[in-house]
Structure 1
Amino acid sequence: MAIAVVLVVLALGSVLFHFLSPWYFTPIASNWHAIDQTISITFWVTGFVFVAVGLFTAWCVVRYRHREGGRARYEPESKKLEWWLLILTAAGVAAMLAPGLLVWAKVIHVPEEAQVVEAVAQQWHWSYRLPGKDGKLGTVHPRFVTDANPFGLNPGDPNGRDDVLVASPELHLPLGKPVKLLLRSKDVLHDFTIAQLRVKMDLVPGLVTYTWFIPTRTGSFDLLCEELCGIGHYAMRGRLVVEEPAVYQAWLDRQTTVAQASARVPGNPAAGKVAYAVCAACHGANGEGNVAMNAPKLSGQGAWYLDRQLHLFKQGVRGTQDKDVYGKTMAPMAATLADDAAVANVVAYIASLPDAPAATTIRGDVDSGRRRFATCAACHGADGGGIAATNAPRLKGMSDWYMARQLKNFRDGVRGHHPQDIYGGQMALIAGMLNDDAAVGDVLAHINTLAPGNGEPR
């Protein structure tokens, strides 16, 4: 009897948990209510079968329990029972599959008026491309992909000149208008998933897959990769911002087109030298860094990374956290650079400075650091030289004391938690694996063994 009671409680308790549990779907923000209905039908069918089987098992335990003198009767076949099982099982499977097929028929038929947006995935980053005023996206090909052309745009296709490029993982879309997402991967399998939209689709290397939806609620929604894509899979996050059409149009007008990016004037080192005089007081005349002034080495660092960090300081994304004492010192210095051209000039001048490796100040267990660095190498490169495509700066030959401080800042929530610091947020997740200062020291001890030139041990 005790077993029968347990089976009944398990069956009915599961039903109560389902209806009373606070954990359920996030509020829907698209037109795909049919997907929720399909899942609800599946819950009802499987829930009914689960309860029926549980109660039937409990009844069998009571009805056919051991009795003195009782005898079992062997019935190897029962056509009546087999027919009932066949019919009921077929009905249950059809009830679960048919609604899904009807929804899938809608998923693959995109409205003709849908706005086309391309989402590009790469370990571990999202970026987007939207058509310009001609309404057409230019062609792309993997052979055109470089650091300067991360989307792989065909330089000979005039339709791509007005394409809008969004290098940030944050995509904005207008409320109430259908959107067709073209999904492309540059490396491995990824998956585009926003829980509130109720649509998800794999991105397959060599193919362009697609899905569509209509945003029905303004707000900011997390984009996740739900296909295990490598060691940084859990940090591959983006954001969808749904806005009123006028607000969206204002955002779109601020984005850079291919033609604008091509016409951008490179920084002027001569002009940057004048502006760098302020920086030199702390970072050194040759950008060599100064530990006494808490100023890291700049020379040799990727220009794209320096440009981004200066803009983050100027925009208040970095250097505003109360515990970031030295970042708060840097913020007013970055503010002396009046505009993007001034930032580009300083970065260009720093790129012209001699690149001498910084003195090492940290010791640790190199073997332990080498094992831990395998995670870092996935983005920063096995030689620690940095990879622009993964938004990971150079590590080897740079100021180890500064990297130690920043790793602790990422780990301890001092840096990387501003909503606009997308890549800092990824780094904060990764830095969490360094659970103490000794682990930080071990990783940096290994980095210090990498020669500045070719990544081989010193």
Structure 2
Amino acid sequence: MVVALVIAALVLGSLLFHWLSPWWMTPLASNWGSIDNALIITMWICAVAFIALNLFMAWLIWRYRHRPGNRAHYEPENSRLERRLTFWTAIGIAGMLAPGLIAWNQYVTVPADAAVVEANGEQWRWSFRLPGRDGVLGTAEPARITSDNAFGLNPKDPYGRDDLIVDTAELHLPVNRPVKMVLRSKDVLHDFYVPEFRAKMDLVPGIVTYLWLTPTQTGTYDILCAELCGAGHHQMRGTVVVEDEASYRKWLSEQMTFGQMAAESRGGGGTRLARADADPSKGVGR
């Protein structure tokens, strides 16, 4: 009898914790409402199963508790009950899987007009790279990473000379424009995650991963690493600023290109490269 009351109290306490809890999803600031929908549907299905099964178990414990003179009926198999359990379990699993599969299909299908931004993770900081006027990111590889070439860009690739290097943890994005985030890691597993965007993806050393999203609300949001990546994992934070097109263009104009950074690092020997980046007639920004 006591066990039945404890189980019933557990169900009631869980419901009260859910209704009264201050911890809930952050306001949505991207196009990924389908991810929220999949999560909410999964939660409701699990909630119904949790409540029904636990209350049923509590009722069974109370209804068939030991009483003098009562003998239990031994029934090792009940095919009718097993068919019902199998059917309703399959319905519940399908109900949880279907919304997630629909959202995943959208998640891996990047719009053709999406802008490209590369996010680079390392212990324990973020940095970013955006294409220049040619709209194409230059090639890069880990073997080329040096103190003067943090992204490992190929200096002979003309498409990389006008790439914008954002060597800080603050990224700006235009509102209501789709963007494909290309993700690379220099050392260990990281995970690019902005809670308000819902979208997240692991950064795997040696592999280029990606996600895409469309920011729908202007504002400043935290970039988190959602993968335990070492002792400084908790401080691996960044900022993404979603703003109007004019403000975004102004921010872009303030960023340095790879060619300009290379010119500065080489001193006077890099002047020609810097001028080529500034002058589209030189054939660099195709």
TM surpasses 0.5: yes
Q: Does 1:150 align with 2:166?
A: no
Q: SS of 2:168's equivalent?
A: coil
SS in 2 for 1:201: strand
**Per-residue deviation at 1:217?**
0.9
The whole-number CA distance in structure 2 between the counterparts of 1:122 and 1:182 is: 15
Counterpart in the other structure of 1:194? 194
**Aligned residue pair count:** 268
Q: Which amino acid aligns with 1:23?
A: W
Asked whether the equivalents of residues 127 and 168 of structure 2 are also in contact (C-alpha less than 8 Å), the reply is: yes
C-alpha distance in structure 2 between counterparts of 1:256 and 1:132, whole Å: 10
Residues 313-361 of structure 1: CA deviation (Å, up to 9, x unaligned):
xxxxxxxxxxxxxxxxxxxxxxxxxxxxxxxxxxxxxxxxxxxxxxxxx
Partner amino acid, structure 2, of 1:111: P
Equivalent residue, structure 2, for 1:233? 233
Which has the larger displacement, 124-133 or 232-241? Answer: 232-241
Deviation at 1:9, TM superposition (A): 2.5
Give the drift of 1:74. 1.1
* AA in 2 matched with 1:85: L
Distance 1:223 1:203 in 2: 14
Q: Is the 8 A contact 2:175 2:218 kept in 1?
A: yes
Letter in 1 for 2:172: H
Paired with 1:186 and 1:264, the residues of 2 have a C-alpha distance of 24
1:188-247 CA distances to partner (integer Å, 9 max, x unpaired)? 111101111001100111111000001111111111111111121111111111111111
5+ residue gaps, structure 1: 269-458
Deviations, residues 429-458 of structure 1 (Å, cap 9, x unaligned): xxxxxxxxxxxxxxxxxxxxxxxxxxxxxx
Please show how residues 357-368 of structure 1 align to structure 2 within 5 Å: none
Runs of 4+ in 1 over 2 A off after TM superposition: 1-6, 262-268
Match of 1:83 in 2: 83
Q: Which amino acid aligns with 1:235?
A: Q
The one-letter amino acid of 1:130's match is: L
Distance of aligned partners of 1:265 and 1:14 in 2 relative to their CA distance in 1, 3 Å threshold = closer
For structure 2, the 5+ residue unaligned runs are: 269-286
Match of residue 25 from structure 1: 25
CA 1:51–1:72: 2 relative to 1, 3 Å: same
Decide which structure has the larger Cα Rg and report it.
1
Q: Is the partner of 1:264 in helix, strand or coil?
A: helix
Measure how far apart 1:153 and its partner are: 0.2
Matched, 1:255 2:270: no
Cα shift at 1:180: 0.3
Contact 2:148 2:265 in 1 (8 A): no
- Tell me the distance in 1 between the aligned counterparts of 2:112 and 2:220: 26
d(CA) in 2 for partners of 1:222, 1:265:
32
Residue in 2 that maps onto 1:169: 169
Percent same amino acid at aligned positions? 56
Q: 1:34: which partner in 2? A: 34
Deviation of 1:133 after TM superposition, in Å, equals: 0.4
SS at match of 2:74: coil
Compute the displacement of 1:265 (Å). 7.2
Alpha-carbon distance change, 132 to 267 in structure 1, aligned in 2, over 3 angstroms: closer
User: Which residue of structure 2 aligns with residue 53 of structure 1?
Assistant: 53
Distance 1:256 1:98 in 2: 45
**In structure 2, do the counterparts of structure 1 residues 175 and 38 end up closer, same or farther at CA, with 3 Å as the change threshold?**
same
Cα distance in 2, alignment partners of residues 39 and 98 from structure 1:
11
Q: What is the TM-score normalised by the length of structure 1?
A: 0.57
In the TM superposition, what is the alpha-carbon distance from 1:176 to its structure 2 partner? 0.8
**d(CA) in 1 for partners of 2:111, 2:265:** 41
- Alpha-carbon RMSD across the aligned residues, in angstroms, is 1.4
- Matched residue, 1:104: 104
How far off its partner does 1:266 sit?
A: 6.9
Amino acid at match of 1:90: A
**Residue 262 of structure 1: how far off its partner (Å):** 2.2
1:58: Cα distance to partner?
1.2
Structure 1 match to 2:224: 224
Residues 132 and 72 (structure 1), Cα distance of their counterparts in 2 relative to 1, 3 Å cut: same
The one-letter amino acid of 1:36's match is: D
The alignment's TM-score, normalised by the length of structure 2, stands at 0.91
**Aligned partner of residue 47 in structure 2, secondary structure:** helix
Q: 1:34 offset after TM fit, Å?
A: 0.6
Q: Is the 8 A contact 2:119 2:126 kept in 1?
A: yes
SS at match of 2:205: coil
The answer for the alignment partner of 2:271 in structure 1 is none
Change (3 A) 1:45 1:220: same
Q: d(CA) in 2 for partners of 1:247 and 1:81?
A: 64
